[in-house]
Structure 1
Amino acid sequence: MNPEQSDADAVKRALEQNGLNSGVADLRVHIARGMENGWRVRLVSDSLAGLSDVERRNLLLSGLEGQVEAAELLTSAEEEWYGPPPREVEGALPVWSDALGQSSNLPLLFASDLDEDIVSPAVVTFYSLRGGVGRTTALAAAARILASRGRRVLCIDMDFEAPGLHHLMRLTEPSPGQGVLPLLLALERGDEVDIRDHVQRVSEAEELYCLPSGRLGADYAQRLRLLEPENWYVEESNPLHALFDLASVSSIQPELILVDSRTGISPISAPLLFDISDLAVVCFFPHPQAQLGTELLVQSLLAARTRRSDGVRTISPEPRFLVSPVPPGPSAGRVRERALTWIDSWLAKAADRRSLDVGALQADELTHSVSYSPDMAFKDFMEVSPAVDESYGPVVDWLEQLLPQSSSQGTVRLSGKREALRELNFSRGQAEVHENLLDDFVKTRVAIQASDSQYPLVIGRKGTGKTAVFRWLLDRPGGDPPVVVMCPHTFRNRFPWVLGVEGFAAVDDALIARGAGWSRFWACYTALATFLALPRRPETTPPLRFKIDVDDFVQPGHTDELFVVETVIKMMEDAQAGLLAARWLRDLDKSLPAPRFLLFDGLDTGFGNDVASRNRRTEAVAGLFTFLTEAETRLENLSFKVLLRLDIWQQLQFENKSHLFGRYVQLRWRDQADYFKTVLKQAVRSRAFQAILTDIGIASDVDAWRTEEVFQAWNVLIGERMKGAKTTFTRNWVWNRLADGQGDHSPRTLSQLFATAVEWEMVERGSYDQSVIRPRALVPSLEQVSAEAVGALHEEFPELKAMVDALEVVGRTPLVPGDIEAVNPNALEQLELALEVGLIAVHEGTQEEVRRFRVPDLYRHALGMTRRGQA
């Protein structure tokens, strides 16, 4: 028995003893918590008939005057007029006096942590301690975006002292007697009401509704004085609960109810935040004046127990933070960083209340910032636009996480799940060794452009799919194969004339000895490689001046790297070698009956990784483009296609580089649906998984899927939402964590993530039936993918070793340049490259003046780095 209950029992016994001492027979005692520190009691006995109220109090409350806050001393006949007695309340009341002094050691659980979906509607309160932070604007924007996504939304304006939500919705003034305020008072009186009489529809085209506060005027002010939210929690009937229950069962059937709460410590805001809400969007600007108050608010939210509690598990209102309005310019980063630092410190106090299954609370996962916009600040009404969606779309994502799983997803039969798991086979390796790459290749708009002859150059950062494009162009069905001039090492058995590290070093020595440039080499080498790749024809024999014996090419084992290097060096001895080779290439071009590509890949690593090799590569590739720009206009059937890493392209300096502007394709995965198709194409090779998709009406042709079908299939594979602190859609969680510091995504890491997740799920073997792989498999799988990503970085950029080692020692992100310098000053020389390849990113400041860096999750885990605020 808790102390509070003991106190109640003691007061009850004292009241009963007073009745016995006073001769009051058959005394019936009802006791409930008061609104302050006392008790509300009702004492009923017909022995009180004929006594005044003062006489009754003297008889029954003797010695309890300081403990009884309110007393009803009645006969049974009088009780009929009073209605039900005060309601007994367990625990703290959702009022500010209780909330601000409350703490909790109970496990901290949110509605979005639950494996099962919560019953709609989900309730979200937008709140701020101070005005001027865009609270109502944020609610109106979120409501508009939700409605545009097909959601049924009811907005309730409970900012009674300064109503105005209906203006932002472009609605007319409510009629007299219409609105939340008169509705609550009617419910308090016990009147029969229809909430639809008070609701306005915002648009006939969308399921968006608004319940305004009421019509301003003398009558409104008088009604506002009658509102006593704190008393609702000690009365038998709670009009606030009744209001939300009416909304839930009405024909409106909202999926989400968005509440605009009064600013500050107002009586109505406490029950909205601590009792009604599943999620509270706390809007604030990190000014020192707001720090203490917002901290107390957060602690109160984390200690509160919502109305949705089931009596077994305590469910708290889930906090989200909207930092607004962030000023433009260099101070923006400092404002955001200060807010995140504050929030991290507030959340850290509840760290030990979160289970490992749901994870710790992290500020950057619960916070969104909105930059100041004059257009937004002075809007007369809210409507959806690209700017609004960009600013408030992340807020809408928070709200949608509370909604039930997509009905089209259904459940996955356990037998089908186990069979699908056995059949799923995701590639762990690079595109060079991906067995089913032709089947799995995603024909995105950029990939199709990369296959177009009008784009001679395809560039991309490490892992974005350049070699996948190479393999697609090389082995795709239909048409004549390309002429492979350069390729990754894995394919050199198929194309023995392709040079490697030693071959290029020998060529470099020969060029230096002759005072010749790399463009001459490329002319000779490209013509020779084309000759070797094409069928022999009399009109395509080498120029006599090259003194090449064609019979040598047919000798067993002759066409290898050494033979090719010697042949090319011999060709370059002629003073006009470049012109002769260009003419030979044109002859080869004319002999072709149909167009083909001259394909160059493997330039990134084909020269080696030491400093001398990288310098050689820079000069050689610049020479290649010099040759390309001179030769391409004279070729009719042969088209250049060079696949090159972006950082190499950016370092190149050569004449007429501008001639390639607008004529190259950059491989970037900017569309989630396209990116996820790279694993879904692998998944549909499983007949069991394909059967599950067929059951929900999704065909097996992944390339033909619409975006919504991609996300449906994704949900079947890995689930719609993460759980716990990482309450986000799985697709957003994966998208954000597999991005490097430049925001680029690698299909390889996505495939590795799912290969690891399948292994995890096979071991787990639980009864989870909402997806083939449960979402939480992604968390431990990311750790392994991070290790593989760092390993690939070491292999491709060994010069970053000092930087990687320094980051491991620093052990925390974000970090300042001085942190790296303190470990190894030489590592700072690699900052530019580390930024370029996405190992780090600018966290605060500009590219020219960086104040702080961050390490993306893709690399952070393997480097053993924690985020700010974590232990």
Structure 2
Amino acid sequence: MNNVNFVPGHGQPRVSVSILESGDLVSYEQQVGEDNWQFFWLNYSILQICSCKPEIRSLSGLSDKLVALSNSEQPPHAEIVSWLVERSRTAQARPQAADELRVIDRWLQQNNQVVWLFYDELDAGFGSSQKDYERRKRALEALLAWWLESGTSSRQIVPKIFLREDIWNQLNFTNTGHYSGRSLQLRWEEPDLWCLVLRQALKSSESLRKVLEQKLGVTVDRLNLIGLEQLRQSLYPLWGERMGRTKKAYTYNWVRNRIADSQDNCFPRSLILLLQKAVELEKAFQTEYSAEITLRPKALIDAFPFVSQQRVAEVRNEYPELEQLLARLQGERSPIDENHLAQIWNLGDGELAFRIKDMIESGIFTERSRPKDPPPRVYGIAELYLYGLDMVRKGQR
């Protein structure tokens, strides 16, 4: 990896002074129209590479304005947008940009270097209104289509595009299937979660390390070789086999179900927060639960509301367009039908269906109605979000 250069193609503005914000992207489209995003990404990638690698700026074949913007420590975003608009509007500048990218790629090859161009924050970088959604869709379809059409000819410049699954499913562009062999779903499976917990526990607790090594042969070095069932059993000294002394749910199932959303995506941060809070509560109890088990069920149960609150705060940051909808769910009960949602959200049928779809795809809602059930449709709230939204299940307080 010594010859790999990590360059932000798009992301949070604090990552690079040349990264544009949502208002800049609105301005660009207003000036050039809706069908010129492909030229935006071509020129934007060249600017980002030149900004991050000073030695490239001296290459012949690069435009003076590109070099000037790259040399600036704090380039005004208005100047960047103006440059991008000019390059998109001018017919001569379009092939010039492709030539510049080839010059850069050739230099990287000659110097045995590779650029990984990272595209992140593509969910939040365009704004949160319906118009912003449509703009984001056009821009991302152009980004992915451009890399398929032209970017694959670059030997040393490799895109790494991070997209939420729900956004990917909404995109429609030519040869979408070509990405099937070029994509990877980032997802935490059950063995990954328990390896994470055990790795932390083995490193932080000498007594637990000895117990697991002597009884089950579990060590940090062997974690990735251990099967799922043994991983589950290895957690018994930490939180017991079941959630209580009677035949209740297995603890690992109880934990996993509560750190997962309605799409069955598990969040390791929520898992770590659950355990940290449970340890804090366990230390405050006056009586010892068991000499063989570290955390009692009550510690985990009492810790969960805090985890839910933290996850709701995170999802508000990840999906700013849903913040007002989430706020209006406070005090409501789950499950909830679409008529009541229309009332508390003050939305008509078309906008309501769109927002419900957003809530399902973001993992907050799950549809409870069966296809043959009469309207209104009914939706449940993932337990991970219930406490954080100050909601309750019907029939429970």
TM-score with structure 1 setting the length:
0.41
Q: Report the counterpart of residue 319 of structure 2 in structure 1.
A: 797
- 1:732 aligns with 253
Name the structure 2 match of 1:550: 67
Matched, 1:508 2:29: yes
Q: 1:639 Cα deviation (Å)?
A: 1.8
Counterpart amino acid of residue 678 in structure 1: L
Name the residue aligned to 1:637: 156
Conserved? CA contact 1:845–1:852, under 8 Å? no
Secondary structure at the counterpart of residue 648 of structure 1: helix
Question: What secondary structure sits across from 1:599 in the alignment?
Answer: strand
State the alpha-carbon separation in 2 of the partners of residues 654 and 597 from structure 1.
23
1:581 aligned partner: 97
Q: Secondary structure at the match of 1:788?
A: helix
Structure 2 match to 1:91:
none
Which residue of structure 2 lines up, in the alignment, with residue 686 of structure 1? 204
Give the whole-Å Cα distance in 1 for the aligned partners of 2:281 and 2:60: 59
* Alpha-carbon spacing, 1:572–1:819, altered in 2? closer, same or farther (3 Å): closer
**SS at the partner of 2:65?**
coil
Question: C-alpha separation between the residues in 2 aligned to 1:848 and 1:769?
Answer: 51
Indicate the residue corresponding to 2:106 in structure 1: 590
Q: Say whether residues 1:484 and 2:2 are aligned partners.
A: no
1:606 to 106, 125, 128: 125
Q: What is aligned with 2:87?
A: 571
Structure 1 residue 704 displacement after superposition: 2.6
Residues 93-123 of structure 1 show CA distances to partners (whole Å, capped at 9, x for unaligned) of xxxxxxxxxxxxxxxxxxxxxxxxxxxxxxx
Report the counterpart of residue 221 of structure 2 in structure 1: 701
Residue 195 (structure 2) aligns with: 677
- In 2, the alpha carbon distance for the partners of 1:589 and 1:848 equals 58
> Aligned partners of 1:799 and 1:761: how far apart in 2?
38
Cα distance in 2 for partners of 1:815, 1:538 equals 58
1:779 aligns with 2:301: yes
Q: Which residue of 2 aligns with 1:149?
A: none
Alignment of 1:23-42 (within 5 A): none
Deviations 1:341-374, CA, capped at 9 Å, x for gaps: xxxxxxxxxxxxxxxxxxxxxxxxxxxxxxxxxx
**Per-residue deviation at 1:677?**
2.6
How do 1:126-141 residues align onto structure 2 when only pairs under 5 Å count?
none
Q: Secondary structure at the match of 2:9?
A: strand
Match of 1:531 in 2: 50
Q: Which runs of 5+ in 1 are unaligned?
A: 1-476
Superposed CA offset, 1:573-598 (max 9, x none): 53243332222222222222144422
* Pair 1:863-2:389 in alignment: yes
CA distance in 2 between counterparts of 1:724 and 1:694 reads: 26
Summarize deviations over 1:492-526 as a string: whole Å, max 9, x none: 34x332222233233233323xx761110000011
Selected match of 2:356 from 825, 831, 835 = 831
Matches of 2:81 and 2:176, distance apart in 1:
28
Deviation sequence 1:636-668 (CA, Å, 0-9, x none): 122221001112122223333233244322223
SS in 1 for 2:91: coil
1:853 matched to 2:371: no
Deviations 1:752-806 (A, max 9, x none): 2222222222322642332333333211111111122222333333443564355
- State the shift of 1:603 in Å: 0.9
Maintained 8 Å contact 1:802/1:826: no
Contact 1:500 1:606 in 2 (8 A): yes
Contact kept, 8 Å, 2:312 with 2:385, in 1: the verdict is: yes
Change (3 A) 1:868 1:481: same
Q: Could you tell me which of 269, 279, 297 is aligned with 1:758?
A: 279
Displacement of 1:695: 4.6
Instruction: Answer yes or no: is the 8 Å Cα contact 1:521–1:578 preserved in 2.
Output: no
Distance in 1 between the 2:94 and 2:285 partners? 64
> Residues 203-352 of structure 1 correspond to what in structure 2 (within 5 A)?
none
Task: Give the number of aligned pairs.
Answer: 385
8 Å contact 2:238–2:295 — kept in the other structure?
A: yes
For structure 2, the residue ranges without an aligned partner over 5 or more in a row are none
Q: Is the 8 A contact 2:50 2:57 kept in 1?
A: no
Pairing of 1:444-455 with structure 2 (within 5 A): none
Shift, 1:706, TM fit: 0.9
**Counterpart check, 1:619 vs 2:138:** yes
Specify whether residues 814 and 552 from structure 1 end up closer, same or farther in structure 2 by C-alpha distance, changes over 3 A only.
closer
Give the structure with higher Rg (CA).
Answer: 1
CA contact (8 A) 1:790 1:862 kept: yes
SS in 1 for 2:118: strand
Q: Does the Cα contact within 8 Å between 1:721 and 1:728 map onto a contact in 2?
A: yes
Match of 1:665 in 2: 184
Tell me which moved more, 619-628 or 653-662: 653-662
Give the 3 Å change call, closer, same or farther, for CA 690–613 of structure 1 in structure 2: farther
Partners of 1:660 and 1:860 lie apart in 2 by: 36
Which region of structure 1 is more displaced relative to structure 2, 748-757 or 572-581?
A: 572-581
Give the Cα separation in 1 of the matches to 2:105 and 2:374: 51
Q: Please give the residue correspondences for 1:644-655 in structure 2 after superposition, counting only pairs within 5 Å.
A: 644-655=163-174
C-alpha distance in 2 between matches for 1:627 and 1:802: 35
Partners of 1:848 and 1:868 lie apart in 2 by 19
Q: Which residue of 2 aligns with 1:788?
A: 310
Q: 2:185 is paired with a residue of what secondary structure?
A: strand
Contact 1:814 1:867 survives alignment (8 Å): yes
- Secondary structure at the aligned position of 2:249 is classed as coil
Q: Does 1:840 align with 2:358?
A: no
**1:725 Cα deviation from its structure 2 partner:** 7.6
Matched to 1:759, the amino acid is E
Q: Which deviations, in whole Å up to 9, do the C-alpha atoms of 1:291-321 show, x marking residues without a partner? A: xxxxxxxxxxxxxxxxxxxxxxxxxxxxxxx
Letter paired with 1:838: G
Alpha carbons of structure 1 residues 676 and 784: separation in structure 2 relative to 1, 3 Å: same
How does 1:80-479 map onto structure 2 within 5 Å? Answer: none
How far off its partner does 1:600 sit? 0.9
Distance 1:481 1:717 in 2: 42
Change (3 A) 1:810 1:552: closer
What is the aligned-residue RMSD (CA, Å)? 3.2
Deviations 1:366-413 (A, max 9, x none): xxxxxxxxxxxxxxxxxxxxxxxxxxxxxxxxxxxxxxxxxxxxxxxx
Kindly indicate which of the two structures has a greater share of residues assigned to helix. 2
Matched position secondary structure for 1:536: helix
SS at 1:609 equivalent: coil
Q: RCO (CA 8 Å, sep 6+): is it higher in 1 or 2? A: 2
Q: What is the alpha-carbon distance in structure 2 between the residues aligned to residue 778 and residue 587 of structure 1?
A: 58
Is this contact kept in 1: 2:12–2:19, CA < 8 A? no
Q: Shift of residue 624 of structure 1?
A: 0.9
What secondary structure is seen at the aligned counterpart in 2 of 1:485?
A: strand
Q: Supply the distance in 2 between the matched residues of 1:856 and 1:584 (Cα, whole angstroms).
A: 50
Q: 1:525 to 1:733 in 2, by over 3 A?
A: same
Q: Secondary structure at the match of 1:550?
A: helix
Q: d(CA) in 1 for partners of 2:156 and 2:345?
A: 54
Alpha-carbon distance in structure 2 between the residues aligned to 1:588 and 1:754? 49
Residue aligning to 1:277: none
Distance (Å, rounded) in 2 between the aligned partners of 1:616 and 1:861:
34
Structure 1 824/534 Cα, relative in aligned 2: closer, same or farther at 3 Å?
closer
**Taking structure 1 as reference, are residues 818 and 481 closer, same or farther at Cα in structure 2, changes over 3 Å only?**
same
